Structure 1
Amino acid sequence: MFAWFERRIDPYPIDTPEMPPRSLWRFVLHYSRGALPWMISLALISSAIAVIEVLLFNWLGELVNRLSDTPREIFWQQHGARLAMMAVVLLVLMPAINLLGALILNQSVMGNFPQRIRWQAHRYLLRQSIGYFQDEFSGRIAQRLMQTALAVREVAMKIMDVGSYVLIYFLGAMVLAASQDWRLAIPFLAWAIGYGTLLWLIVPRLGEVAKAQADARSAMTGRVVDSYTNIATVKLFSHSTREEEWMQEGMDAFLQTVHRQMRLSSIQDITLNALNVMLVAVVTTLGLWLWSVGQIAVGAVAIAVPLALRLNNMAHWIMWEFAALFENIGTVRDGITTLAMPRQVVDVPGARPLVTGPGEVRFDQVTFRYMGVTSARPLAVLNDLTLHIAPGERVGLVGRSGAGKSTLVNLLLRFHDIEEGRITIDGQDISQVTQDSLRAAIGVVTQDNSLLHRSVRENIAYGRPDAGEDEIAEALRTAEAQGFVPALSDSYGRRGLDAHVGERGVKLSGGQRQRIAIARVALKDAPILVLDEATSALDSEVEAAIQSRLEALMEGKTVIAIAHRLSTIAAMDRLIVMDGGRIVEQGTHGELLARDGLYARLWSRQSGGFLTADAAE
């Protein structure tokens, strides 16, 4: 029975994730689609429970009247059937409805609904551009994903489930009180007006505070994650005290929103208690007076007073539910700013997979701009750049910092869309093929290779999950990593290829991380290879040992290599010298030295094989 209800909402839909709407209610509806029928079922069940509870008060009043005017000897004979019907409703119908509601709520909705939201939002975020993740704390994005999923569930549930129960119950109470004597409905109506006014004044303010609190909580969590992620830097610079002050500032900003929330809550509680006391006192006094003058029967008093007491008990719960509703609305609004962002780079309609060939790459009059940090206008990074790389050719990119070398590679990977021009691989415009197939055809080793917090085996096989053990072993040999991997271990006793490397590979040295990354690319065996400072994290001995392996790795591939240590790429088939987003020189190492241009000046000013500060100038 549990399993059947647990399968009613699919937590992992396979539909292609779409950008969620940016308006609140459309956002909630967008993520509630798969659960909506079951949310409506909960609303109907809550309404039925509210109707039955009000009817039970009515039957209670009638029972009091019958007890007062029916002789004991014939009471069961006259009213036994009605009491039996009440017993069936109370002992059978109500438990059955509550059972159905509990199964739908706990088995179908509570777990599956937010998990479905997390899954859909996560799949959408995975397809966001690189720039999106560079603009935000990763911890803040993750927290908003988790918080928003729960908040959407709570908003939908409180509106559909709690809202329907409260509305039906109050309307039923009003009708029931008026059916005894219209004057008995007046205190309930006055209480409702006062209660509604209190909600109107307090709850929106609680919602505003909740939004500020959600934002402050996310910022506080982001600061914690930032400190922990960069804990080595904090310790290296002995800035624990500074980090504490920075963290206290974030925590205090959050605490101030909590104080504002609690002040409003105190005002709410004090005012609501006064309203509730007045309701019970007025209903009781009015009921007793109407009974004393013979206007109502004693059963009417037995109905009105318990109804007032019941509303008294419900009032705080309703208020907190509404406050929680607005708090969750604030969290959802906060999440919209993160989750409902348009993708900067998308596959065109009908995009096809890239058909891999020999690996010819062309940049045809490519211009790319981006918004500078200190400039309100776009800055040109590549300007009318044209470059042809033949299949199997090995090309080195040379230039000072900011010349556009890494940008050229990022555009080839389509991390950004170009402003003008065209980039093709084997004659196929990369803007017209799927991003996944494009990046599957390009192997990349960068100077800052972060690893997944998984086993060494999973990291190496990330590009080819179906790779066998022999292929993984060969990739390790290619990267000269076979010597240290067998000795690796983690705190759970896993060793060798099964050892986990920590967040971003923090348990490994920089050289070890680099060699695992090279092994990963070697196993991927893509026709186009990009080396961006691929050996920068290696010491000279290991670099010398791995150079021959890189030669084998580059065999038969189109290679684009970037290095500030010019000696590492001097043997490339062709060197492309870039400056100010343009190609200013190209040729072999010897040709460029003979030309005595920018490359020759860079080469002559190297110290220990690296570009010096003078060269950068």
Structure 2
Amino acid sequence: MRFFPTIKPFRPASTNPPTTTWKFFLWAVQGAWPGILWATFWSACSGSMEAISATILGDVIDAANTANPSTVFSDHLWLFISFVGLYLIARPLIFGLTTHAAAIVVEPNLFPLILSRMHRWTLGQAVTFFDNDFAGRIAQKQMQVARAATDVVSGSIETMAFSLASVIGSVALLSTINGWISLLLVGWIAAYILFIRGFLKKVRGASGARAAARAMVTGQIVDTVTNMKTVKLFAHARHEDGVALEAMNGFRDKAIEYGIISSWFRLSLMALAGVLPVLLVGATVWLWSQGGATSGDIAAAGAIAFRLAQMTGWVSFSLMSIFGNLGEVEDGVKTLTPPYTLQDATGAKEMPRVRGEVQMEHVTFAYGRKTEDGRGGVDDLNLSIKAGEKIGIVGASGAGKSTLVALLLRLYDAEKGRILIDGIDVRTVTQESLRRQIGMVTQETAMFNRTARENIMYGNPAATEDMMIAAAKQAEAHEFILNLRDFAGRKGYDAYLGERGVKLSGGQRQRIALARAFLKDAPILVLDEATSALDSEVEASIQDALTSVMRGKTVLAIAHRLSTIAEMDRIVVLDAGRVVEQGSHAELLAQAGLYARYWNRQSGGFIGTDEKEAAE
């Protein structure tokens, strides 16, 4: 049985993250208050030990001054028992419980609590959020916010509660000596607070700027490392070094600005801290000279004065760290907490398994631009696809093929019109339930730096090992997977594929992606140049598998290599975001239109994508 409260480290937040700093903190620590208050209580108890220790020390000195040396211990037995008990039992126990509460209850649980909430929120952002930023910078911001927010909370517990209890206890102790001495301490504390307040505003701003510059360095380096093969191929190591050094220099400048503020802060602080012992000890000695204080009072006031003077340095630097972390939290919150641009509708329901009928009615989407600028998107597009129908989609670059698929997956919302699947508007169901109905294989296949097994099982985490291997065999991936071996000696399906599948050839990555889509077994299948990275022999060997997998599914196949879609039930030709032709391969050739020109002019089976050619 636990005798202390706990913090559930992965508890979801009940609301969306606010964009203002203090409200964000309340959101971040939802559900953690019992543990935080527990740690705060013991920190305050530790702080109170300072005044209690000084009081007993003063009493011991007075007892030594007034008692007969031969009977001092017998005359003041309980005083000495209290003194020993305080220093050998109570004080170590309370400080131990304080450390336990901070280092076991709060810090190890608060960090994953905040990080999991930030990561969960970031996962829900639309793809445009990730398109507009560095992957490394986003990851850095998540870690930055979680670490800084944790440090603010734990620092506040250790500093605020401890120092507040120490100050209250010190004022109470000094008031028993003389009320005017306690007022001197109160006045000094007021001056100290004004001093701290002025400096910490500057610290907060400088820290935020430093954090932003640090995140830019991380983002730049991760961007370079992620694209290292391109850097090598273009022999641009020197260029990338220059770009990184520029970002590092920006961080250095911000770090120096922060350091200048810190230096002035410490100099001023030490001067102010030196005033306190002079005030308290000097005033108490003067009272003693007037018969208004004892030797023990001088010792107690001195102990308090020197302890508070020392503590002001620790408190000030703790506050500086807290406000510095506040600046980092503010900087991260600006990046990570914008509201979702693509949300489930209020009351959105789960989409049931569908037959696969697709209806696009007057759909327009131009990425926020005007549709007539000719730079991609779809314009008043109408398209009907029957359940189980196999559709080939053809068009030059910028004709709207990828946009059509992205809108079907609801990676974006149509600016006009609507998209229906089995008569259900895709905007009325949850995004995840919609995307579970659609399997997709793209030309640029995405692999996780995980095992081959995990990458294939991503299509259906509930699948059995036999189902996973069957899908790999269908995709002609089983044989090469068995021969995989990673840097740690793991083999076959247990081998890691490297970041983005870098250890595989393009054809191998595409076959694993096909296996993943086969395993998903969704009623709608989108193939976006799904066999473009395969050589002719491998492509021919998996055509039967593709034909088998497509049976009974609605298929949308995008291809520049027209031979791969010639056998589709219907071919849809897009131009400038509209459907300009549709029919079977033979029907479109007979029309002698755009598709026929593509077919006649392609070399090696590819559509020419030059804009001039498309215009012709």
Do the two structures share a fold, i.e. TM-score over 0.5?
yes
SS of equivalent to 1:209: helix
SS of equivalent to 1:401: coil
Task: Give the 3 Å change call, closer, same or farther, for CA 5–497 of structure 1 in structure 2.
Answer: farther
Q: Which deviates more, 321-330 or 454-463?
A: 454-463
Asked if 2 retains the 8 angstrom alpha-carbon contact of 1:17 and 1:123, the reply is no
1:533 to 504, 529, 532: 529
Looking at structure 1, the residues matched to 5 and 447 of structure 2 have their Cα atoms a distance apart, in angstroms, of 36
SS of equivalent to 1:370: coil
Cα drift, residue 186 of structure 1: 5.3
Q: Match for residue 481 of structure 1? A: 477
Looking at structure 1, the residues matched to 13 and 22 of structure 2 have their Cα atoms a distance apart, in angstroms, of 21
Q: Match for residue 66 of structure 1? A: 63
Q: Match for residue 354 of structure 2? A: 357
SS of equivalent to 2:478: coil
Asked if 2 retains the 8 angstrom alpha-carbon contact of 1:344 and 1:416, the reply is no
Cα drift, residue 187 of structure 1: 4.7
Cα drift, residue 332 of structure 1: 0.9
Structure 1 unmatched ranges of 5 or more? none
The code of the aligned residue for 1:537 comes to: A
Pairwise CA RMSD of aligned residues? 2.3
Q: Match for residue 271 of structure 2? A: 274
Asked if 1 retains the 8 angstrom alpha-carbon contact of 2:5 and 2:35, the reply is no
Q: Match for residue 384 of structure 1? A: 380
Q: Match for residue 524 of structure 1? A: 520
Q: Match for residue 153 of structure 1? A: 150
Looking at structure 1, the residues matched to 592 and 266 of structure 2 have their Cα atoms a distance apart, in angstroms, of 82
Cα drift, residue 300 of structure 1: 1.8
SS of equivalent to 2:440: strand
Identity fraction in percent: 42
Looking at structure 1, the residues matched to 544 and 261 of structure 2 have their Cα atoms a distance apart, in angstroms, of 70
Deviations 1:526-571 (A, max 9, x none): 1111000111112233223333322222122111011122222122
Looking at structure 1, the residues matched to 270 and 50 of structure 2 have their Cα atoms a distance apart, in angstroms, of 24
Deviations 1:340-367 (A, max 9, x none): 1212222223332222232111112222
Q: Match for residue 80 of structure 2? A: 83
Deviations 1:422-462 (A, max 9, x none): 21222222222222221111110000011111111111121
Q: Match for residue 615 of structure 1? A: 613
Looking at structure 2, the residues matched to 353 and 312 of structure 1 have their Cα atoms a distance apart, in angstroms, of 63
Aligned positions, number: 612
Cα drift, residue 394 of structure 1: 0.7
2:53 to 30, 53, 56: 56
Q: Which runs of 4+ in 1 moved over 6 A?
A: 377-380
1:334-483 to 2 correspondence within 5 Å?
A: 334-372=331-369, 381-483=377-479
1:279-358 to 2 correspondence within 5 Å?
A: 279-358=276-355
1:11 and 2:17 matched:
no
1:171 and 2:168 matched:
yes
Looking at structure 2, the residues matched to 101 and 289 of structure 1 have their Cα atoms a distance apart, in angstroms, of 38
1:212-231 to 2 correspondence within 5 Å?
A: 212-231=209-228
Cα drift, residue 7 of structure 1: 7.9
Asked if 2 retains the 8 angstrom alpha-carbon contact of 1:219 and 1:250, the reply is yes
Asked if 1 retains the 8 angstrom alpha-carbon contact of 2:376 and 2:577, the reply is yes
* TM-score when normalising by structure 1: 0.94
Deviations 1:141-179 (A, max 9, x none): 111111211211122223344212212212332332233
Cα drift, residue 481 of structure 1: 1.9
Asked if 1 retains the 8 angstrom alpha-carbon contact of 2:46 and 2:98, the reply is no
Deviations 1:265-324 (A, max 9, x none): 211221222222333234333333332232322222111112111112112111110100
The code of the aligned residue for 1:239 comes to: H
Q: Match for residue 548 of structure 1? A: 544
Structure 2 unmatched ranges of 5 or more? none
Q: Match for residue 601 of structure 1? A: 597
1:8-47 to 2 correspondence within 5 Å?
A: 8-13=6-11, 15=12, 18-47=15-44
SS of equivalent to 1:386: strand
Looking at structure 2, the residues matched to 532 and 467 of structure 1 have their Cα atoms a distance apart, in angstroms, of 25
1:61-210 to 2 correspondence within 5 Å?
A: 61-185=58-182, 187-210=184-207
* TM-score when normalising by structure 2: 0.94
Looking at structure 1, the residues matched to 283 and 539 of structure 2 have their Cα atoms a distance apart, in angstroms, of 94
Cα drift, residue 378 of structure 1: 13
Q: Match for residue 252 of structure 1? A: 249
Asked if 2 retains the 8 angstrom alpha-carbon contact of 1:32 and 1:156, the reply is no
Asked if 2 retains the 8 angstrom alpha-carbon contact of 1:227 and 1:234, the reply is yes
Asked if 2 retains the 8 angstrom alpha-carbon contact of 1:369 and 1:378, the reply is no
Looking at structure 1, the residues matched to 287 and 374 of structure 2 have their Cα atoms a distance apart, in angstroms, of 79
Q: Which deviates more, 359-368 or 496-505?
A: 359-368
SS of equivalent to 1:421: strand
Asked if 1 retains the 8 angstrom alpha-carbon contact of 2:13 and 2:28, the reply is no
The code of the aligned residue for 1:576 comes to: V
Asked if 2 retains the 8 angstrom alpha-carbon contact of 1:464 and 1:524, the reply is yes
SS of equivalent to 2:417: strand
Q: Which deviates more, 584-593 or 153-162?
A: 153-162
Asked if 1 retains the 8 angstrom alpha-carbon contact of 2:125 and 2:342, the reply is yes
Looking at structure 2, the residues matched to 600 and 496 of structure 1 have their Cα atoms a distance apart, in angstroms, of 46
Asked if 1 retains the 8 angstrom alpha-carbon contact of 2:49 and 2:166, the reply is no
Deviations 1:507-528 (A, max 9, x none): 0011110011011111111111
Looking at structure 1, the residues matched to 350 and 280 of structure 2 have their Cα atoms a distance apart, in angstroms, of 74
1:234 to 223, 231, 235: 231
The code of the aligned residue for 2:430 comes to: T
Deviations 1:447-500 (A, max 9, x none): 001111111111112112232333223222221223322111111111111111
Q: Which deviates more, 58-67 or 448-457?
A: 58-67
Deviations 1:239-266 (A, max 9, x none): 1111111111111111111111211121
